[in-house]
Amino acid sequence: MAFTPPFGQQGGMQAPSSPPPQTVPPKPLTSTLAIDPGAISRCMFRYTYIWPRSGPGFWFYPVFIGRTSISGFRWNGFFWMFSGFDLERIDSFSCF
């Protein structure tokens, strides 16, 4: 029996092979000046909803979290696209 990985690969990184949940989670009541890398690290390789400081929220699938930045796959409504941004641009987040 052959093993089939649950994720597709893109540029050496693994993106989810299915869309994110259809329901947007409720936004947490608290927000901070900057997101702590340790706090968001529990969201690695999990569906994560991001509320940025400006602009609409979006689904994200983190594959790397540094001291000041995060990278992974952002859902554009049709497919996952690789992207990254500074942690200071995040107002709040919730992961599953």
pLDDT confidence of residue 6: 41
pLDDT 10s digits, 47-75:
999 999 999 999 999 999 999 999 999 99
Q: What is the mean pLDDT of the chain?
A: 87
Strands 7-10 and 13-16: antiparallel
Q: What is the mean pLDDT of residues 32-53?
A: 91
More confident residue, 3 or 76: 76
In the structure, what pLDDT confidence band is assigned to residue 32 with cuts at 50, 70 and 90? low
Burial 25-64 (b: 16+ CB within 10 A, else e): eeeeeeeeeebeeeebeebeeebbbbbeeeeebbbbbbbe
pLDDT confidence of residue 46: 97
The predicted model scores a pTM of 0.84
More confident residue, 29 or 10: 29
Task: Note whether 81 and 74 are within 8 A (CB).
Answer: yes
Instruction: Give me 50's structure tokens.
Output: 């991001």
Give me the domains of the chain, ranges plus CATH numbers: 34-96 (2.30.30)
